[in-house]
Structure 1
Amino acid sequence: MAKSINAHNLRQHWINKHEIALLDIREEGPYAQSHPLFAISVPVSEIEKKLPALIPRLSVPIVVYDSGENYTERAAARILALGYRDVSVLEGGLAGYARVGEVYRDVNVPSKAFGELVEAINHTPSLPAQQVRELLDRQGNGDDVVVLDARRFEEYTTMSIPHGRSCPGGELLYRFFEAVPDPKTTVVVNCAGRTRSIVGTQSLINSGVPNKVVALRNGTIGWTLESLELDTNRTERVAQPSSEAYQKARRYAEAWAGRVGVEVIDGEQLGRFVADKNRTLYLLDVRDPEEYAANHPRGFDNAPGGQLVQATDEWVGVRGGRIVLYDTDGVRARMTASWLVQLGWEVYVLDERSPVPTSLPTKRTLWHSSNSAGAAITIDELQSRAGATVVDLARSTAYVKGHIPGAWFASGPELARDLRTVVGDGPIVLTSPDGDVAAMNLDDARNAVSREVLYLSGGTAAWVAAGYPLETESRWLSQPIDVYKRPYEGTSNARKDMQGYLDWEYGLIAQLANDGVAGFHVMRDTV
């Protein structure tokens, strides 16, 4: 049975650095319009899919809330059914919280607010788009200015600053001296908006590199608002460092991490952390995804360092939890940890020379497909069922790119409500990208309608693997509010949305000050 907790007591957990997880169980769209600082987005329909990684300890306190949609009872029951033991409902929901604490727009807000604080404290240098354009136009042989794009490679290939090369934020110092061997070269760090440009620039300045380093002010948004053209489909990456470049980066990383107070542990200490059942532990490999895929230690999830600092809430669901970072070089984990410490996390770096314990736990599976035994239907069976209606629980962005012909889009949290509008009396067949979310929401669907409800085994991926085509004509059972359109991603954003996003970011420091729960402490690059 779920308990209740008021906003004052919830906030006290954050202030005292006690472990707690706050789940916004609405779709991402409403979440991005308004939520408390440390709330993470876990729609009620995706609880079984997302919670085991985000909240690995079953006894950690969990709080759920909505904004009057009546999801909380359902969410609490699903969380308890997974084996979690301490689940509470936030009294008064979002409106109740807003009476005592700040609520924030957008996503990954703690990191974005922190980035603004970093710039304000350290006066992180930046140049507007027109001045960067002039620098690039003036360079003679291409060695005077280097542009390093601190976003994920996939974002870089979509659109980038002319002459930019991909070097995601967690890789910046590690690959820096390979990209910039001449100390007289000016370095421009950019992202799509502000945070990764600021943090990336300040990372290099903090570490003490000899070059002049500046951020592209307001990133690709600022570039676009100045009516400058972006490149598309670029694939240039900064290479892995040579031995000499790596050794230099290692010395810089060790010096800065030591000053910040990053603690390095060995495998024996890690074993003690794993054995501590009273603390939530996250094991994260901060290397490039390709390196992680090639080889990684058992028990560690991949969280590339720059993205982890930018979007900690996508990997770590329990504020107050303990984090251990891994790399193979002693640079990337130290630099990532140096930021997480300032963000208020208890974080350690596993010495890359220490053997990794072989007994580390693997990712826990809390939901089992046996829960929906007898309800699966194969592709052949689907095609033979007369009058079947396919309902797709994919994210709307995936649905519009392609879905099973005739399938309707439904919002997971509103599935029970919207299934009642499906015309016909034949079976309803739920699908999702891999079939998991469809199976996980089977009971809610069956409780909502009297018709037979099944789910497609293997989901839409199985349909594609069998050689069947997808279609793009959309049919909406639910409004597509499940995905927040980020004004800093892609190339089709309205100018007013991009400017509005920048204006919002500038105001985050004031919100932090008024809120009083962040627990951030920014280190200055000089004493």
Structure 2
Amino acid sequence: MTRRIDAATLKKMIKDGKELALLDVREDGQFGEGHLLLTVPAPYSMLEARLDTLLPRRDVRTVLVDDGDGVAERAAARMAAVGFTDVTILDGGVGAWAKAGYVIFKGVNVPSKAFGEVVEHAAHTPSVSADELNAMFEKGEDLVVVDGRTPEEYKRMSIPNGISVPNAELVYRIHDIAPSPDTTVVVNCAGRTRSIIGAQTLRNAGIPNKVVALRAGTMGWRLAGFELDHGASRKYPEVSAKGMTEAKARAEAMAKTFGVRKVGLGAIDRWRKETDRTLYVLDVRSAEEYAAGHLPGALHAPGGQLVQGTDNWVATRGARVALTDDTEIRAITAAHWLVQMGWDVHVLEGGIGKAATEKGTPARRVLGIDEIAVDEVAPAELATALRDGTAVAVDVDLSGHYGERRLPGAYWGIRPRLDRLVPKLPKGKRIVLYSEHETRARLAAPDLRALTDAPVAVLKGGREAWTKAGLPTEASPGVPPDAERIDFLFFVHDRHQGNEAAMREYLSWEEQLPQQVEADGDAAFKVVKV
């Protein structure tokens, strides 16, 4: 039986200085509505698909958190089955943590976003409002707007005249974007934190330009009544020789000021062989550069996003983190923030060079999936069985995908709550699970088999194969109802759909994070003032 601990014991573990992974195994919507500050989302519906990269060391001390509803027990059993040996459950889950008087946080990537807010308070990062930026445009001031988000986010919506320059690229490329020291640099994101981090990055680098963050980002621009661009493709230029020289000098100064340590390939190779310490090796360049060649075994973690959402890649507190790129510049840019967030981070000295022998983007490894024996049903066979009434289809993919295009008559279920679905299914029929690419369906099959005597199978090739075969799908507006969509966080989503009330709520949420972090006491932030 899996060990259990109470909230007070876990609070002590967080501060004991030893490696610790805190995984929240609830679904994304549940996690986003309230969680512990340092828990990393690892929803049970896709648990085995996240474990390999989140927890590279199988014997790392791990604590699972749920709603006290038994999901953590099932997750612990699956983790044991795929080789994890030190798994404990927080007794009573999130509710017990709150009952003990500890802070509960709403939202996603909270440690990183809270850190951005703390930086603004500590560094007094200057900013301008949307009205002020618009006035600067109208006056024809010498300025450039750089968007520190991902290229995909930028393309979806952006400030007019803005250029896509993800935050980790800023020090590397700003000298070619704004070669004159008289040019004001305005950094924006969708809300607050990446604007703040991007602007403060350039200030930390000591560039001579005036640098400001756009307060409230694209949301603030929209709330002020201004129009956003959609589908823009403006992008940073290639780095010139002069720009490279300047960027290297700035990055080197940052490394010294902020205590960024460098290591060689030999050290990284030795660390990889150690069995008592976790190591994350991350490549912080663009997706295209990573695919063209990277250090074998390194994961792609674009530097701006790594700072913005560290918990997407690193789950073990106290682990080593090694950042790689080709020039050190982008690795130092990301590392100088991770150091201040409390991570033990190092930069590969001299860049990857000829060691970039692995190409492409590795396929995600789903632990234990090959050992799950389950019957497969081809799309045409399932279509016939559905017409004949001998089978029932169950969609275990994201609720939003189900609502957009489900198989005719299909039910929707989610892995942690299949026990609620089984009583609703017609008796005497074969149950065929499906998801877009099979993975979710295969992972859910053993859970379903434990709940019913009916034969269970999966749709071969998933919904993708069904669609390619020209078979029909149908929409199901309002189904499942919002109350059942535990995989979807409305709080984050609605602000991107033009919901102004949701925008204001989100911006207010970001601004109050420093007070929550201070009350919680578990963050290890140490902002260096320059």
Task: State the TM-score bracket (shorter-chain normalisation).
Answer: over 0.9
Deviations 1:58-103 (A, max 9, x none): 1001111222322122121111111100111112321221224211
Q: Tell me the secondary structure at the aligned position of residue 273 of structure 1.
A: helix
Q: CA deviation at 1:229?
A: 1.4
Q: Which has the higher helix share?
A: 2
Alignment-derived partner of residue 419 in structure 1? 422
1:157-208 CA deviation, whole Å, 9 max, x = no partner? 1111111111111111111112111111011100011110000000000000
Contact 1:410–1:476 (Cα < 8 Å) also in 2 = no
Alignment of 1:342-421 (within 5 A): 342-351=340-349, 352=351, 356=355, 365=365, 367-385=367-385, 386-387=388-389, 388-421=391-424
Question: 1:344 & 1:6 partners in 2: Cα distance?
Answer: 26
The answer to whether the aligner puts 1:476 opposite 2:480 as a matched pair is yes
Q: Secondary structure at the residue paired with 1:428?
A: strand
Contact 1:186 1:212 survives alignment (8 Å): yes
Question: CA offset at residue 353 of structure 1?
Answer: 5.5
Matched, 1:177 2:175: yes
Change in CA separation of 1:392 and 1:173 when aligned onto 2, cut-off 3 Å: same
Shift of 1:241: 1.2
Does the CA-based 8 Å contact 1:267-1:357 persist in structure 2?
A: no
Task: Answer whether contact 2:204 2:254 (CA < 8 A) is retained.
Answer: yes
- TM normalised by structure 2 equals 0.93
C-alpha distance in 1 between matches for 2:83 and 2:55 = 12
Task: Report whether the alignment pairs 1:103 with 2:95.
Answer: no
Compared CA separation, residues 465 and 244, structure 1 to 2 (3 A) = farther
Greater Cα shift, 393-402 or 304-313: 393-402
The verdict on how the C-alpha distance between 1:488 and 1:379 changes in structure 2, with shifts beyond 3 A counting, is closer
Q: Identify which range, 205-214 or 411-420, moves more after superposition.
A: 411-420
Q: Counterpart amino acid of 1:421? A: K
- Equivalent residue letter for 1:299: G
SS in structure 1 of the partner of residue 285 of structure 2: coil
What is the match of residue 299 of structure 2? 301
> What does residue 160 of structure 1 align with?
158
Which residue of the other structure, out of 502, 510, 516, is the alignment partner of 1:511? 516
Please tell me whether the aligned partners of residues 399 and 480 of structure 2 are also in contact (alpha carbons under 8 angstroms): no
**1:460 and 2:463 equivalent?**
yes
Within a 5 Å distance, the mapping from 1:112-151 to structure 2 comes to 112-139=113-140, 144-151=142-149
In 1: Cα distance, 2:232 partner to 2:406 partner? 29
* 1:5 maps onto 2:41 in alignment: no
Deviations 1:100-135 (A, max 9, x none): 421101000001110111000000000111001111
Q: CA deviation at 1:415?
A: 2.0
Q: 1:2 to 1:340 in 2, by over 3 A?
A: same
Structure 2: distance between partners of 1:430 and 1:172: 46
Deviates more, 1:291-300 or 1:437-446: 291-300
CA–CA distance in structure 1, aligned partners of residues 276 and 470 of structure 2:
49
The separation in 1 between residues aligned to 2:58 and 2:107, in whole angstroms, is 29
Q: Which runs of 5+ in 2 are unaligned?
A: none
* Aligned partner of 1:429 among 428, 432, 438: 432
Distance in 2, matches of 1:425 and 1:138, equals 74
What does residue 66 of structure 1 align with?
A: 66
Aligned match of 2:252: 254
Q: 1:26 to 1:186 in 2, by over 3 A?
A: same
- Secondary structure, aligned partner of 1:136: helix
Q: Which moved more, 1:492-501 or 1:53-62?
A: 492-501
CA gap of 1:210–1:398, structure 2 versus 1, over 3 A, is farther
Distance 1:156 1:363 in 2: 26
CA contact (8 A) 1:150 1:169 kept: yes
Question: Take 1:353 and 1:374, find their aligned partners in 2: how far apart are those partners?
Answer: 43
Q: What's the counterpart of residue 211 of structure 1?
A: 209
The number of aligned residues is 521
1:355 Cα deviation from its structure 2 partner: 5.5
Aligned residues of 1:159 and 1:491 also touching (Cα < 8 A): no
SS across alignment from 1:413? helix
Q: Please tell me whether the aligned partners of residues 155 and 233 of structure 2 are also in contact (alpha carbons under 8 angstroms).
A: yes
- Structure-1 separation of matches of 2:472 and 2:160: 38
Q: How do residues 206-285 of structure 1 correspond to structure 2 at under 5 angstroms?
A: 206-285=204-283
Q: Counterpart of 1:80?
A: 80
Look up the match of 1:492.
497
CA deviation profile, 1:486-519 (whole Å, cap 9, x unmatched): 5477642422221111222221111111111101
Which letter maps to 1:310? Q
TM-score by structure 1 length? Answer: 0.94
CA distance in 2 between counterparts of 1:55 and 1:280 reads: 8
Secondary structure, counterpart of 2:103 in structure 1: coil
Matches within 5 A, 1:336-347: 336-347=334-345
1:192–1:489 CA contact under 8 A, matched in 2: no
Once the 2 structures are TM-superposed, how far is the Cα of residue 466 of structure 1 from its aligned partner? 3.8
Helix, strand or coil for the counterpart of 1:175?
helix
Structure 2 counterpart of 1:453, which letter?
Answer: V
Paired residue type of 1:447: A
Tell me if structure 2 keeps the 8 A contact 1:52–1:363: no
**Matched residue of 1:448: which SS?**
coil
Shift of 1:244: 1.6
Q: Do the aligned residues in 2 keep the contact of 1:53 with 1:363 (CA within 8 Å)?
A: no
Q: Is the 8 A contact 1:420 1:448 kept in 2?
A: no
| C-alpha contact 1:299 1:363 (8 A) present in aligned 2 | no
- Counterpart in the other structure of 2:188: 190
Q: Secondary structure at the match of 2:441?
A: helix
Q: Could you tell me how far apart the structure 2 residues matched to 1:489 and 1:350 are?
A: 40
Distance 2:384 2:508 in 1: 55
**C-alpha distance in 2 between matches for 1:133 and 1:358:** 47
| Structure 1 counterpart SS, 2:22 | strand
Q: Per the alignment, in what secondary structure is the counterpart of residue 520 of structure 1? A: coil
Which one-letter code corresponds to 1:390 in the other structure?
Answer: A
Q: Equivalent residue for 1:94?
A: 94
Q: Which residue of 2 aligns with 1:19?
A: 19
1:441 to 424, 437, 444: 444
| Residues 354 and 165 (structure 1), Cα distance of their counterparts in 2 relative to 1, 3 Å cut | closer
Deviations 1:450-489 (A, max 9, x none): 3221111222222334444543335439822202135477
Taking structure 1 as reference, are residues 374 and 118 closer, same or farther at Cα in structure 2, changes over 3 Å only? closer
Decide which moves more: 110-119 or 294-303: 294-303
SS of alignment partner, residue 249 of structure 1: helix
Query: Deviation string for 1:42-72 (max 9, x for gaps)?
Result: 1222111111111111100111122232212
> Residue 233 of structure 1 aligns to a residue in which SS?
coil
Other structure's SS at 1:414 match: helix
Structure 1 contact 487–493 (Cα < 8 Å) conserved: no
